[in-house]
């Protein structure tokens, strides 16, 4: 997927080939967020300008329905992602003053559920087939929240401190939740200390 200021939103096979344009000449700031598991719907983040509230829009790869605003509140909403089964959407919103993670059914009906507590940094990640959500707290710690769907309604456990290293800069969590690819600050990786024993033998 591609996108940018006043650009087109398009899709293209990883192996190459022609692009398929989904939206042309978008105004404002725009960034694609997530592709539904069935490949039909694409979520993208859009703001008319730098001062406007960000919104979550959806466009169909089949042309129907027409592109439309999916999540818009009197707050910034961003970083939307489909659950692995495509039945739920997770997004970040600052409606409670600070950024928190929320989950809502897809299509957008019914209540929304706040998943995080005490703030988040960036987007959340669905892991373990959608049975867990992980995120980075404002304290730079990694947290996980268990997800259970019963009778069509989600139930979320309390955030659990994973004890993972807190110096992750920019990264991507594997769907299993067991590994992460990350870029950390160089200062967080000090030069190893080497202990030399029997050093007097070297002087002989």
Surface-to-core class of residue 179, CB atoms within 10 Å of its CB (0-12 exposed, 13-18 middle, 19+ buried): exposed
Residue that the structure tokens 């539904």 belong to = 36
**pLDDT tens digits for 46-61?**
887 777 889 999 988 8
Query: pLDDT (tens digit, 9 = 90+) per residue, 21-33?
Result: 777 766 667 788 8
Please give the angle made by the CA atoms of 39, 71 and 48, to the nearest 5 degrees: 100
Split at pLDDT 50, 70, 90, the class of 36 is very high
Domain boundaries, the chain: 9-166
CATH fold for domain 9-166 = Neuraminidase (2.120.10)
Whole-model pTM: value is: 0.74
Which residue is it, tokens 């969590």? 173
Give per-residue pLDDT as tens, 108-140.
Answer: 888 999 999 999 999 999 998 899 999 999 998
Beta carbons within 8 Å of 69's beta carbon, 6+ residues apart? 55, 56, 57
CB environment 34-73: b (16+ within 10 A), e (fewer): bbbeeeebbbbbbbeeeeeebbbbbbeeeeeeebeebbee
Confidence at residue 117, expressed as pLDDT on a 0 to 100 scale:
92
Structure token digits, residue 92: 């970040």
What pLDDT is recorded for position 145?
Answer: 96
């Amino acid at each position: 997927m591609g996108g940018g200021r006043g650009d087109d939103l398009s899709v293209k096979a990883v192996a190459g080939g022609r692009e398929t344009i989904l939206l042309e000449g978008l105004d404002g700031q725009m960034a694609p967020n997530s592709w539904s598991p069935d490949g039909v719907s694409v979520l993208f983040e859009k703001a008319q300008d730098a001062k406007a509230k960000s919104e979550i829009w959806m466009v169909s790869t089949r042309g129907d329905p027409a592109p439309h605003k999916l999540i818009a509140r009197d707050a910034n909403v961003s970083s939307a992602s489909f659950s692995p089964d495509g039945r739920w959407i997770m997004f970040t919103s600052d409606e409670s003053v600070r950024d928190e993670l929320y989950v809502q059914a897809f299509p957008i009906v019914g209540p929304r559920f706040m998943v995080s507590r005490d703030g988040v940094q960036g987007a959340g990640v669905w892991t373990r087939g959608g049975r867990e959500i992980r995120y980075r707290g404002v304290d730079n710690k990694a947290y996980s929240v268990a997800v259970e769907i019963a009778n069509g309604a989600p139930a979320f456990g309390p955030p659990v401190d994973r004890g993972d290293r807190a110096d992750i800069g920019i990264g991507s969590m594997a769907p299993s939740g067991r590994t992460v690819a990350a870029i950390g600050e160089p200062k967080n990786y000090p030069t190893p200390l080497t202990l030399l024993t029997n050093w007097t033998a070297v002087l002989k």
